[in-house]
Structure 1
Amino acid sequence: MFHSSRHGADALRNVLAFTFRHWARRWAMAAGVALAIVAATLTEIFVPLFAGRLIDALTQGRDAAPAALEAFLMMAGLGLVMVVLRHLAWWGVVPLTLGIMADVVREAFHRVQRFSSDWHANSFAGSTVRKITRGMWALDVLNDVLLLMLLPSVVVLTGTVALLMLHWPLMGLVMAVGALAYGALTVTLATRVVAPAARLSNAWDTRIGGILSDTLGANQVVKAFGAEAREDARLQAVVVRWRRRVQRTWMLHTWSASGEFALLWGVRTAVTGTALWLWWEGRATPGDVTYVLTTYFVLHGYLREIGQYVHNLQRAVNDMEELVDLHGLAPGVADAKEARPLAVPGGEVRFDHVTFHYGLHAAPLFRDLDVTIPAGQRVGLVGPSGSGKTTFVKLLQRLYDVTGGRVLIDGHDVREVAQASLRQQIAIVQQEPILFHRTLAENIAYARPDATAEEIEQAARLANADGFIARLPKGYRTLVGERGVKLSGGERQRVAIARAFLADAPILILDEATSSLDSESEAAIQEAMERLMQGRTALIIAHRLSTVRAMDRILVFEHGRIVEDGRPDTLLARPDGRYRRLFERQSEGIAGELGVPVG
């Protein structure tokens, strides 16, 4: 419980600090809302005072009519001022809150996009979206609670106690003790009882969002294996846990509210009894008693709702906690303060004695890796899975930072240049291309959003994608579905290749870019690739060694080391070479599939 309460206090402090920083950006608007609501609340404090004077005037008969009229007009005037000022406060909080919500979602999106590849690989996209949207909407509640609800409650409590102390110190003391006891109880229940339970409820709510996103995004796989019932059962297991947690949270809310109402009953009884005692002692007139009771009822309204306000505050803090945590995470790879744009006139790639660890792994994947790829050279990267081929190109893109040594492009350390400019100089076609749920034209032009329709169509022709696009009813305006699900694997691959053509970057990375194509399409693409690679530095991660036999050079990776380096025919001629062994193993596999004897 101590750990949970301490964590809750930390969360409250972090969320409030986060909110106040955003208020500071719009300090004039936030201050205007606060001043308007404070002034409106002060009018409510003085209304009971004039209500008491009205009662005293009425008890004196018609002779006191002017005093009664004056008290009435003051009450009416204060009420009108309160209405106007409250309207101004609520009017002002709308643009304030919407502006902050817009900033928060933009900044969260900005940061999450720049988190490391490992972070994204270990996070559910649906859960991340839920954290951002839930936190964004919680800001609406938080602003209302702090500015329009809790702030007036504090003003009413302070002002009421101060006025009562001036007239009857005992009454002021009773009111103050009762109000402070109620506030302490409310805050304790919200932060130390309800908050830990609500935090667990939110964690399971996030789990549900993650499972829904994961399963719906992989619906084709679910259908392929007839696994709908299995996924139903998986979600049901999480829903049961979520329901149990939420039910516990809601019941704690119920018990907390009952305890708060019981304490309010005690405060009301004590205040009323004290007022009657003062009247019995002759120290208060009927108007004074009316003033005290009216004041209490005003305060009671605020106190009765302050419990709900505190609970709403705590709920908003719980909902914002994960969003604030996202803002507190540092990007996996950040630009240097003096980062400058990268210009690549040639395209030479050099790994200068590079050492690289994945995360906290004790053994490095690369140790003192030293290799230079001249500008314009076509290089095949081959080797078994996990040997370091993909990591090699990820370090070139600076998706990770090296542990030691340097990765250089035309002599520029990639850590010293702006990442956006670095990646604009590198076109990549992944083995499993990912498309946006946008039009084919938008997907092809993603590397160059300002490309003309003619340039987009030319890139599609070079990638042998124009044929299937022309057969679609809407052509280049066809929406491809989430992650490109409306297209076949080969069609997605050709769109990704067209995107690389349009990028026209000096460095090209192909991760077995023709692996999803049929033989006829592959031949056409290979011919297009030959044209594309001319005059560019090309790195081809090869899973099928037949695709790199025409390369200028082969780098054979094994356990993070380059164990062979040379022309394909030279490496193939080595009797006990690693490349030859890999090539023969694949050849035997293909021959076996075709029923052709080997040897």
Structure 2
Amino acid sequence: MSRLDSTGRREPFRAVLGFTFNHWARQPGQVAWVSGVTIAGTLAELFTPLYAGRLVDAVASGTGAADAALWALGAMMVLAAITVLGRHFAYVGLTTMTLRTMSDVAQESFARLQRFSTDWHANNFAGSTVRKITRGMWALDLLTDTILIALLPSLVILLGMTVLLAWHWPVMGLVVAVGAFVYIGLTLGLSLRFVAPAARLGNAWDTRLGGSLADAITCNPVVKAYGAEAREDRRLATVMAKWSLRTRRAWLRGTWSGTGQLVVLLALRAAVIGLVIWLWLKGQASAGDVAFVLTAYAVVHGYLRDVGQHVHNLQRSVNDMEELVAMHDLPYGVPDRTGAVAMGVTAGEIAFENVTFHYGSHHEPLYRDFSLTIQGGEKVGLVGRSGSGKTTFVKLVQRLYDLTAGRIAIDGQDIAEVTQESLRRQIAIVQQEPVLFHRSLAENIAYGRPGASLAQIEQAAMLANAHDFIVRLPKGYATMVGERGVKLSGGERQRVAIARAFLADAPVLILDEATSSLDSESEALIQEAMERLMEGRTTIVIAHRLSTVRAMDRILVFDRGRVVEEGPHEALLGVEGGAYRALFEKQVSELAKGLAV
């Protein structure tokens, strides 16, 4: 079982390395190839000091040992060529391997995000989430390079050189082994216990910084409307100051860590050089042996020095990937059940059967043992005060949340037993504030039916009273609408959303008061389009203005998760002291006051 940290999550290094190795396991051949050629190139470098020592001995012996000197030189050149080729092929293989892994991680992260619950998305900044993914992707690149191209050769060199030196002089091998062990232990301890906590906090503020930037940029129209540019500058400056403070601490800790590592390396250098000179003075080492040891130590020293940087990179990449990996550990808010099948809807009858539901943070359920049936093709309006359960009703129909008890069925099929994709294809939604992609108008209209032809898109736009304003645009249906449709007016966005629902041609339709904040001309066009859209479909209308539900077959009056009244408009108005009549009279009174002013 994985060890957990103080927050209940898997310990970061274990979690990140496990995540990385699981992705490597998808490419075993590529990993083996990169590792193999890296080790081959490193082993060639390992034996180079040995032949350097033989070359010095041959030169010291005089011209009679010319053949031995040339042979040693040739061996060194061959080893150098193997080292170069090994590194070259390792990087070529690593490029293919890393790009595939980064692509897999990005796509899988995006897929998970798309399937997280509505609550999760409501509670997380989009900018922060994007930052976690992009930072984690590039950290994965650094982590892969560090392990396969940096730490693996370092391990081969340290072990191999220690064995070679110990073969000639056991005490020399012991000195190098102890020095390397102390250096690596110190490096790991400083990185994991001293630098990593500060780096983790710095990354958390980096994520918050990204979220603050995205929040202000996304809401720029509101910023401009209130002349709040300077206020947002100050808000960002506050976040930036905290980010800078946390990041400075992490960087300074890294500097102190590096200095400590260099001190240990200097002590090891003095010990090795002093020992080989002592061996030479004792007659236990030739000039070539001294050259061998000095060359060997130069290689070891270089790798040990780099190990400090490699461990730092390892620690940094783990910190940078930590939030991404934690996101992959999160469960889906509402997963498809095992064996879920595709849903098929014909009549569109919706039945709530003894439904009990409460939001996770609430102690009391909103719905308790709630039952209700909407007949296929029936047009139903949902009215009631804010928080009475209207919006939750349609969210449960879409299965944005799972029930505490009971079931919801469409045409007798339990929506919890079908795939969410197939369920939501049977439901078209026009929201009060329609969301459009920063794509062309044609793409936005065809979102519910991606393969639709331009003729079908235009037909849907005509039914939605959107065609006329679209063809007046410079690029017509190819016009880009801006982020969230910002280039269009509210009425135009609504008509595009209605056109999208027309083209989706789903048997169940949900309308969230689409005319509540529009001018009278836009409202008339949209009301006409919605009446056409409702024909032949089971329709649920969330009504904030009661005038929009006059023509409904039935009106459901919600209060605290219960339907307290139901019936057509005229019948409910006739109920003396009824809840619907009270709501209606209040709205008429407020309208009269507004006209009087």
TM-score (norm: length of structure 1): 0.97
Query: Residues 8, 144 of structure 1: CA spacing in aligned structure 2 closer, same or farther, 3 A cutoff?
Result: farther
Any gaps of 5 or more consecutive residues in structure 1?
none
Please say which of residues 275-284 and 119-128 is displaced more in the overlay: 275-284
Give the equivalent residue in structure 2 for 1:567. Answer: 568
- Secondary structure in structure 2 of the residue aligned to 1:502: helix
Contact persistence 2:9–2:326 (CA under 8 A): no
- Rounded Cα–Cα distance in structure 2 between residues aligned with 1:177 and 1:7: 37
Matched, 1:298 2:307: no
* Contact 1:512/1:540 (8 A) holds in 2: yes
- 1:203 counterpart residue number: 204
The AA in structure 1 aligned to 2:323 is E
For the residues of structure 2 that align with 1:525 and 1:310, how far apart are their CA atoms?
A: 62
Asked whether 1:14 is paired with 2:10, we answer no
Aligned pairs (5 A) from 1:221-232: 221-232=222-233
Instruction: Report the CA distance between 1:467 and its aligned residue.
Output: 2.2
Task: Say whether the 8 Å CA contact 2:205–2:243 is kept in structure 1.
Answer: yes
State whether residues 8 and 195 of structure 1, in contact with CA within 8 Å, keep that contact through their aligned partners in structure 2.
no
Structure 2 residue aligned with 1:162: 163
Identical columns (%): 62
1:123 matched to which residue of 2? 124
**Mapping of residues 271-420 of structure 1, within 5 Å:** 271-420=272-421
SS in 2 for 1:25: coil
Q: Is the 8 A contact 2:5 2:11 kept in 1?
A: no
- Distance apart, 1:7 and its partner CA: 9.3
**C-alpha RMSD over aligned residues:** 1.5
How far apart, CA to CA, are the structure 2 residues paired with 1:6 and 1:53?
58
Deviations 1:299-337 (A, max 9, x none): 100001110011011111111111111111111000111
Give the aligned partner of residue 53 of structure 2.
Answer: 52
Q: Deviations over 1:540-573 (max 9, x none)?
A: 0000000001100011111111111222211111
The CA deviation at 1:9 is: 8.8
Separation in structure 1 between the aligned mates of residue 347 and residue 446 of structure 2, nearest angstrom: 24
Taking the TM superposition and a 5 Å limit, the aligned residue runs for 1:501-580 are 501-580=502-581
Which has the higher mean CA deviation after the structures are superposed, 519-528 or 120-129? 519-528
Secondary structure in structure 1 of the residue aligned to 2:237: helix
1:257 — aligned with what?
Answer: 258
Letter in 1 for 2:287: P
* Matching residue of 1:98: 99
TM superposition shift of 1:5: 10
Q: Which residue identity does 2:272 align to in structure 1? A: V
Cα distance in 2, alignment partners of residues 439 and 571 from structure 1: 44
Rounded Cα–Cα distance in structure 1 between residues aligned with 2:8 and 2:587: 56
- Cα-to-partner distance string for 1:109-131 (whole Å, 9 max, x where unaligned): 00001000000000000000000
- Kindly state the Cα deviation for residue 189 of structure 1 after the two structures are TM-superposed: 0.9
Q: Distance in 1 between matches of 2:535 and 2:85?
A: 73
Give the secondary-structure state (helix, strand or coil) at the position aligned to 2:465: coil
Structure 1 residue 80 displacement after superposition: 0.8
- Which range moves more in the overlay, 496-505 or 464-473? 464-473
Give the aligned partner of residue 220 of structure 2.
219
Over 3 Å counting, the alpha-carbon distance change for 1:5 and 1:450 in structure 2 is closer
Displacement after TM superposition at 1:376 (Å): 0.4
- DSSP 3-state at the match of 2:371: strand
Matches within 5 A, 1:126-165: 126-165=127-166
Q: Distance in 1 between matches of 2:318 and 2:583?
A: 57
Residue pair 1:464, 1:521 contacting (<8 A) in 2 also: no
CA distance in 2, matches of 1:247, 1:555: 59
- Assess, with a 3 A threshold, how the Cα gap between structure 1 residues 13 and 486 changes in structure 2: closer, same or farther: same
Range with bigger deviation, 272-281 or 113-122: 272-281
Correspondence list, 1:471-482, <5 A? 471-482=472-483
Q: Equivalents in 2 of 1:141, 1:280: separation in Å?
A: 46
Deviations 1:265-304 (A, max 9, x none): 0000001111111112221111111111111100100001
Question: What does residue 32 of structure 2 align with?
Answer: 31
Seen in structure 2, the aligned counterparts of structure 1 residues 104 and 411 have a Cα distance that, compared at 3 Å, is same
- Do structure 1's residue 62 and structure 2's residue 41 form an aligned pair? no
Asked whether 1:239 is paired with 2:243, we answer: no
Contact 1:346–1:375 under 8 Å retained in 2 = yes
Cα distance in 2 between the residues matched to 1:166 and 1:504:
80
Structure 1 residues 489 and 5, CA gap change in structure 2 (3 angstroms)? closer
In the alignment, the residues of structure 2 paired with residue 163 and residue 119 of structure 1 have an alpha-carbon distance, to the nearest angstrom, of: 57
1:567-599 C-alpha deviation (Å, 9 max, x unpaired): 221111101111111111111111111129xxx
Please give the alpha-carbon distance, in whole angstroms, between the structure 2 residues aligned to 1:236 and 1:452.
49
CA distance in 2, matches of 1:234, 1:532: 45
Contact 2:494 2:526 in 1 (8 A): no
Q: Secondary structure at the match of 2:11?
A: helix
State the Cα deviation string for residues 201-253 of structure 1 (Å, max 9, x = none).
Answer: 11111111000100000000001011111100000001111111111111111
Separation in 2, partners of 1:50, 1:429: 78
- 529-538 vs 515-524, greater mean Cα deviation: 515-524
Taking structure 2 as the reference length, the TM-score comes to 0.98
Q: Which residue of 2 aligns with 1:73?
A: 74
Moved more, 420-429 or 460-469: 460-469
* SS of equivalent to 2:112: helix
- After superposition, the Cα gap between the structure-2 partners of 1:13 and 1:497, relative to the gap in structure 1 and judged at 3 Å, is same
**What amino acid maps onto 1:507 in structure 2?**
V
| Secondary structure in structure 1 of the residue aligned to 2:25 | helix
2-structure distance, mates of 1:225, 1:494: 28
SS in structure 1 of the partner of residue 407 of structure 2: strand
The SS at the match of 1:226 is coil
Please give the alpha-carbon distance, in whole angstroms, between the structure 1 residues aligned to 2:418 and 2:318.
38
AA partner of residue 124 (structure 1):
F
State how far apart, in whole Å, the 1-side matches of 2:588 and 2:361 are. Answer: 38
1:407 is paired with a residue whose SS is strand
Alpha-carbon distance in 2 for matches of 1:339, 1:560: 29
Q: Which amino acid aligns with 1:182?
A: Y
Task: Specify the alignment match of 1:458 in structure 2.
Answer: 459
| In structure 2, distance between residues paired with 1:212 and 1:539 | 38
- Counterparts of 2:199 and 2:5, CA distance in 1: 11
Aligned pairs, how many?
595
Matched residues in 2 for 1:292 and 1:5: separation?
47
Q: How does 1:106-117 map to 2 (within 5 A)?
A: 106-117=107-118
Q: Distance in 2 between matches of 1:384 and 1:341?
A: 36
User: Is the aligned partner of 1:179 residue 2:177?
Assistant: no
What SS does the aligned partner of 2:544 have?
A: coil
Residue identity matched to 1:50: Y
Map 1:433-448 → 2, pairs under 5 A = 433-448=434-449
Distance apart, 1:258 and its partner CA: 1.1
The answer for unaligned runs of 5 or more in structure 2 is none
Q: Contact (CA 8 Å) 2:498, 2:529: kept in 1 or not?
A: no
Paired with 1:375 and 1:426, the residues of 2 have a C-alpha distance of 13
Contact 2:348–2:507 (Cα < 8 Å) also in 1: yes
How far has the Cα of 1:514 moved from its partner?
Answer: 2.0
Distance 1:385 1:457 in 2: 37
Which stretch shows the higher mean deviation, 361-370 or 510-519? 510-519
Separation in 2, partners of 1:21, 1:386: 45
Mark the CA change 1:7 to 1:174 in structure 2 (over 3 Å): closer, same or farther. farther
